[in-house]
Amino acid sequence: MITCDGIYQGINEYQDYYHLPELPYKYDQLEPWIDAKTVDVHHSGHHAAYTAKMNAALQEWRNSGEEKELAHSSIVNILKNIDNVPQRWRTSIRNNGGGYVNHIFYFSVISPNPLNDNHTISANLRGLFRKSFVNMSQFETWMTQEAIALFGSGYVWLCREPTRNYLTVYSTIDQITPLQFGLQPILVIDVWEHAYYLKHQNKRKSYIESWWRLIDWAKVEHLYEWWRSFDPKHEEL
């Protein structure tokens, strides 16, 4: 069994205050693919702001006593049930809670790759790609095309569909998360301009090509196994 130790640990649990997770690499360690200043602004600026605003909205909602059971559940569960959040806080939590977890998933499955090495993909993960996309090449083409074509700001995701355990590519705009559609993210490319503009400027395709060099497939599999750990357990007959 793979040990699941990513920065997403705890987002599936209720917390009085969700902290900005510390990245498992320094800001300059994603170079030459993404520059240190971009990673710094992305994490300590944008991600930190989403974290603070989400916590403020959650605290105000919890103090109100409205939808108390949902309010005192995890941010993952809240986003899965965003339409049940009282209207007064729904937009803020969709935007800022989405920004919080979306960035956690983004930062959690990339790793430094200064020498442009090819990250190894396990036989288990390759089998999942064959089941879902025929082969890795078709998946990479689909993910790249979606990321290039997405208009404006948003994300392109590789998600697990939990009921049938297959993988699919899914696009969302702004800070909407696939959690609210019953999907479990295991890989994501952030195509908001703040994710790449300082180095790649308006050349989104160049950024996407660089992002592929940073994917750590072992971490993708860790995240896949983390989601699987929540599947209903079936007792042996």
Same domain, 95 and 143: no
pLDDT at 119: 82
Asked if the structure places residue 48 within a domain, the reply is yes
Asked if the structure places residue 20 within a domain, the reply is no
234: pLDDT strictly greater than 80: no
Same domain, 179 and 212: yes
Same domain, 95 and 155: no
pLDDT at 1: 36
21: pLDDT strictly greater than 90: yes
80 within 8 A of 185, measured Cβ to Cβ = no
Asked if the structure places residue 75 within a domain, the reply is yes
Task: Tell me which residue range forms the domain holding 136.
Answer: 123-228
The mean per-residue pLDDT over the stretch 6-19 comes to 94
2: pLDDT strictly greater than 80: no
Same domain, 218 and 143: yes
The mean per-residue pLDDT over the stretch 174-197 comes to 95
Rounded mean pLDDT of the chain?
A: 93
Same domain, 135 and 88: no
Q: What is the 3-state secondary structure (H, E, C) of 61-93?
A: HHHHCCCHHHHCCCHHHHHHCHHHCCHHHHHHH
Q: Identify the band that residue 198 occupies on the pLDDT scale cut at 50, 70 and 90.
A: confident
178: pLDDT strictly greater than 90: yes
C-alpha to C-alpha distance for 111 and 101, rounded to whole angstroms = 18
10 within 8 A of 228, measured Cβ to Cβ = no
* The residue to which tokens 């089941």 are assigned: 131
pTM of the model: 0.93
C-alpha to C-alpha distance for 70 and 221, rounded to whole angstroms = 30
Asked if the structure places residue 42 within a domain, the reply is yes
3: pLDDT strictly greater than 70: no
Domain count, the chain: 2
